[in-house]
C-alpha cells in the first residue's frame, strides 16, 4: 500500500517532511495556519494535490485558532506558491464552507477524501495504458507523497503492477531538488517496483535507444486547451518523446485542471531561490560569485500530450475542452 503523506488528528495536521527523505522519515505536527503556509512554501509538503489538501486543513486550523476571518486565512495560504492550481482549489473549498457557516474541518476532510478517491480512479483508468508499455519514464514525484495517497503518475504504475504487469520505471533525478531521486525512488523501493534513477539529461538517451515504452508525469496546472505546467524539465521530455514516437501521458485529478485559463501562456511560473541550484545538501557547488536562475516549472504545449489520465478515463487533448465543459454543467 502506498504511504500516507498527510493526515489530521487531535487538532493537528500531521505530514511527512519531504525535505528529510530518504535519509529520515520525520512527521511534522502543525497546529496553525501560518505553520501550514510555511510547510508549503519551504516544500516540507509538495505536489499539487497534496498542497491543496494541506491548504484545506490550514484553513480549518485557522478557523480553530479563532482569530482569522476566512478571507484573511485564505490570503496567507494563497501567498505561498503560485503555480499549482490545486492550492487555490483546496483553499476555496474550505473558505466557501466556512464563510457559509459550515464546519471548516468537515469541508477539509471532504476535500481530502475527494482527492484520494480521484487518485484511485486515475490508477484504474491509466493501468491499461501500461499493459504492454512495461518500461516507463517519469519525472519529478507524482506519487503518494505528492497527492496524499496513491499518486497520479504513479497510480497507474501501482495498479498495473497489482494486475500482473512486469514494469520497470526510469526515474529522472529531477534537479535541482531531486524529487525523483529522493522521493519517487523511495516510494518505488518501499513497494519493490523495479526502477533505476537516471540523470535528467540521460532521459533522451533512453528514449532514443528504444528503452522507454511510455512517459507518464503529473501536473501542477492544466489549461483548457491542454497546455500544462509541471516540474522544470518536463517540456524537454515531452518533445524528445514525440520525436522518438513514445506516448506521453499526463495524470491529474480534476482539481489540477484550470478551466478558466484558455492556454498555458498565462500560467504563472514560480522562480525559487538560487541556492537550490548553487548548492546540494548545503554544500556550495558553483563558484562563490556565480549566480543562478531557478524556474520551478515549465509549460508543455498540448500537442505533445498523447492523453490526460483523469478520474473519468483517458482524455485526448482535442477533447479536453468538451470534457471540462460537461463537468461544469453537471
DSSP H helical segments within the chain, as ranges? 33-41, 48-65, 70-78, 85-99, 104-126, 144-147, 154-162, 179, 185-190, 203-208, 234-243, 275-278, 317-329
Given the C-alpha cell 465543459, which residue does it identify? 325
How many alpha carbons lie under 13 Å from residue 208 in its C-beta half-sphere? Answer: 7
Determine the Cα angle at 19 with ends 16 and 23, to 5°. 85
Distance CA 46, CA 19 (A): 9
Q: Which helix (H) or strand (E) holds 282?
A: none
Tell me which of 220, 227, 258, 298 is the catalytic residue: 220
Q: Nearest to residue 35, comparing CAs of 15, 5, 9?
A: 15
DSSP secondary structure letter of residue 257: E
Given the C-alpha cell 454543467, which residue does it identify? 329
Distance CA 315, CA 310 (A): 7
Cα 246 from chain centroid?
22
And the C-alpha cell for 127?
493501468
Q: Nearest to residue 207, comparing CAs of 199, 216, 217, 215?
A: 215
Annotated catalytic, 220?
Answer: yes
Distance CA 252, CA 118 (A): 9
C-beta neighbour count of 260 within 10 angstroms: 10
Q: Which residues are catalytic?
A: 220
Amino acid at each position: 500500500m502506498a504511504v500516507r503523506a498527510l493526515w489530521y488528528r487531535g487538532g493537528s495536521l500531521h505530514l511527512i517532511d519531504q525535505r528529510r527523505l530518504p535519509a529520515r522519515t520525520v512527521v511534522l505536527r502543525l497546529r496553525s495556519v501560518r505553520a501550514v503556509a510555511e510547510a508549503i512554501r519551504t516544500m516540507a509538503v509538495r505536489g499539487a494535490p497534496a498542497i491543496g489538501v494541506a491548504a484545506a486543513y490550514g484553513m480549518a486550523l485557522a478557523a480553530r485558532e479563532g482569530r482569522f476571518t476566512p478571507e484573511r486565512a485564505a490570503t496567507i495560504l494563497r501567498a505561498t506558491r503560485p503555480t499549482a492550481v490545486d492550492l487555490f482549489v483546496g483553499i476555496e473549498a474550505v473558505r466557501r464552507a466556512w464563510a457559509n457557516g459550515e464546519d471548516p474541518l468537515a469541508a477539509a476532510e471532504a476535500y481530502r477524501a475527494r482527492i484520494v478517491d480521484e487518485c484511485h480512479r486515475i490508477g484504474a483508468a491509466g493501468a491499461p495504458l501500461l499493459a504492454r508499455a512495461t518500461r516507463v519514464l517519469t519525472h519529478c514525484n507524482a506519487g503518494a507523497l505528492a497527492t496524499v495517497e496513491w499518486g497520479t503518475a504513479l497510480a497507474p504504475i501501482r495498479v498495473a503492477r497489482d494486475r500482473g504487469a512486469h514494469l520497470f520505471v526510469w526515474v529522472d533525478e529531477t534537479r535541482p531538488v531531486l524529487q525523483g531521486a529522493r522521493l519517487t525512488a523511495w516510494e518505488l523501493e518501499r513497494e519493490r517496483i523495479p526502477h533505476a534513477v537516471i540523470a535528467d539529461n540521460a532521459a533522451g538517451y533512453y528514449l532514443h535507444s528504444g528503452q522507454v515504452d511510455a512517459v507518464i508525469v503529473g501536473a501542477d496546472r492544466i489549461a483548457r486547451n491542454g497546455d500544462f505546467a509541471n516540474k522544470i524539465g518536463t517540456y524537454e521530455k515531452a518533445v524528445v518523446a514525440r520525436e522518438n514516437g513514445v506516448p506521453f501521458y499526463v495524470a491529474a485529478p480534476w482539481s489540477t485542471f484550470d478551466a478558466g485559463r484558455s492556454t498555458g501562456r498565462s500560467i504563472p511560473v514560480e522562480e525559487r531561490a538560487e541556492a537550490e541550484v548553487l548548492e546540494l545538501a548545503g554544500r556550495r557547488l558553483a563558484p562563490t560569485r556565480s549566480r543562478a536562475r531557478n524556474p520551478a516549472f515549465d509549460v508543455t504545449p498540448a500537442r505533445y500530450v498523447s492523453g490526460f489520465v483523469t478520474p473519468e478515463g483517458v482524455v485526448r487533448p482535442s477533447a479536453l475542452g468538451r470534457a471540462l465543459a460537461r463537468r461544469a454543467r453537471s
